[in-house]
Amino acid sequence: MKRLLGFLLVMVMLLLFVSLPASAEVTEIQFWTWRPEDAGFYDEIISQFEHANPDIKITQNPIKNTEYNTILSAALAGDSAPDVFMSRAYGGLQTFADSGYMLALDDLIPELMQFDEAKKMGARSITDGKMYGVPAVSQTMLCFYNTKVYAELGLNVPQTWQDFIANLEATKAAGYDALANGTKEGWCCEFLFGGGCSSLHGGVDFYNKVISGETTFLDPVFVNAVNEMLTLAPYMPVMYEGVAYTDMQASFINEMSAHFIGGSYEAGYFQAQNPDLDFDIFAVPGYTEADPAYVAVYADMNFSIAATSKNQEAAIKFVKFLATPEFGNQVVADLAMVSSVPGVDVSANPFIAKVLELQKNSTPYIFLVGFRYNQPTGSSLFQAAAQGLMTNTLTAEEVCKQVQEGIATYYEPFQK
């Protein structure tokens, strides 16, 4: 009897062992991002995805934005490319697509068919017309201001350029850094110009003319707008030439400065770092109230897959998740950014609603959108020259001449 019971027990155990499912094999993928400020947000997104897909594990690698391009380029060219990564738009994407580093997604992500065509421009190659990324967010260059400071000093949102300068004067006289902006990093000069001076050169009308070759960057209207950027220097922090991007953020967050010219992408970070910070936004105006007050806009970010990824099935699944309204709604709610995903209620966030209102007078962020497809890029030329302007080693005319001559080496409309 004991032998029979023992035999039966062994058989039951064997049957149980055979019937147990094999442990699911977990696929690990690398996901690179360029905003360490938003790492917590993406950790939460990853957690949601992993909960629904327990067979996939994602490791995020947040890299400082000013170092991201160099590190990513080296990784893609070598054997350490991430599976999924944030990619730049327009010319920034084109370089990697032309090099064969990115997977074409047209047939792999059918959700792309639903995206707005204008937003897809930043993820589409101008060489073969294929999509190499899923559009993520668009950004708007504008001016943040501290509403408590404005109330304290009895200031109103400026309606003209002179009103804006008067507000800078008033906040400086009250002991604040009128502008948080610095110029240690060249890209900060580009967004100072894009967010601060787009209303001074005619905005979208000038953009269309310069793209077609009807005018150039030597146009006196554009030269004047560049020169006006220099007139902002007295309202920037002491030794602004050494003020870095993170210094600018800290100054505005800690209410040491009254204004911050930059991108709409700052709002979520500002709120997270100082929930008591009261701020609003405006488009820096033109010379008269009749002039449109332009904000500069651009497609900012895509999600791409490395062509060499050994985990493409898992990578595609994750990128599809990043193309859903569920993800887009969280971008709006938690990051206060304008999501490019269709079906997202971008007006649900009051800040985003205000951004969209300002976008009714918008112009392309000129060098990023139009002149990053070849070397030297318009951005690299302007950034370096603008740093010279802000240190009084170059004039506005010399800045524009350097930009024009650099772009003319490859841009046919400038070679007439």
**Nearest alpha-carbon partner for 389 in 199, 228, 220:** 228
- Is omega for the bond preceding 376 within 30 degrees of 0, making it cis? yes
**What is the Cβ-side half-sphere exposure of residue 350, based on CA atoms within 13 angstroms?**
3
- Give whole-number Cα distances, 48 to 37, 45, 168, 366, in Å: 19, 5, 45, 37
Q: Would strands 134-146 and 295-305 be described as parallel, antiparallel, or unpaired?
A: antiparallel
- Residue 352 CA to residue 336 CA, distance in Å, equals 6
| Cβ pair 362, 264 in contact under 8 A | no
Whether the CB-CB separation of 361 and 139 falls below 8 Å is answered with no
Domain range annotation of the chain = 27-138+299-347, 139-297+360-414
Q: Hey, which residues does 306 pair with through a beta bridge? A: 102
Distance CA 416, CA 412 (A): 7
Architecture of domain 139-297+360-414: 3-Layer(aba) Sandwich (3.40)
3-state secondary structure of 234: helix
CA distance 256 to 245: 15
The domain 27-138+299-347 is placed in CATH, from the list 3.20.20.70, 3.40.190.10, 3.50.50.60, 3.40.50.720, at: 3.40.190.10
Q: Quick count: other Cβ atoms within 10 Å of Cβ 196?
A: 25
pLDDT computed for residue 12 by the predictor:
44
Whether the CB-CB separation of 233 and 390 falls below 8 Å is answered with: yes
How far apart, in whole angstroms, are the C-alpha atoms of residue 398 and residue 386? 10
Q: Which runs of E-coded beta strand occur in 74-132?
A: 84-87
Write a three-state SS string for 199-262: HHCCCHHHHHHHHHCCCCCCCHHHHHHHHHHHCCHHHCCCCHHHCCHHHHHHHHHCCCEEEEEE
For the chain, the maximum distance between any two Cα atoms, rounded to a whole number of angstroms, is 106
Smallest CA-to-CA distance from 256 within 275, 231, 238, 271 is with 238
Quote the pLDDT of residue 347.
Answer: 74
Q: Output the CA torsion sign for 378, 381, 383, 386.
A: negative
Please provide the size of the chain in residues: 416
Secondary structure of residue 411 in the 3-state scheme: coil
* Best CA proximity match to 356, nearest among 142, 87, 135: 142
pLDDT in tens, the chain (416 residues): 545 444 444 444 444 444 444 456 999 999 999 999 999 999 999 999 999 999 999 999 999 999 999 999 999 999 999 999 999 999 999 999 999 999 999 999 999 999 988 889 999 999 999 999 999 999 999 999 999 999 999 999 999 999 999 999 999 999 999 999 999 999 999 999 999 999 999 999 999 999 999 999 999 999 999 999 999 999 999 999 999 999 999 999 999 999 999 999 999 999 999 999 999 999 999 999 999 999 999 999 999 999 999 999 999 999 999 999 999 999 999 999 999 999 998 777 999 999 999 999 999 999 999 999 999 999 999 999 999 999 999 999 999 999 999 999 999 999 98
Sheet strands (E) in 213-307? 257-263, 279-282, 295-305
Q: Can 27-138+299-347 and 139-297+360-414 be said to share one CATH topology? A: yes
CA 360 vs CA 29, 141, 291: distances in Å? 40, 13, 14
Residues 6+ apart with CB under 8 A from 393: none
Q: Which residue is listed with tokens 């360490």?
A: 36
Q: Can you give the pLDDT at residue 3?
A: 53
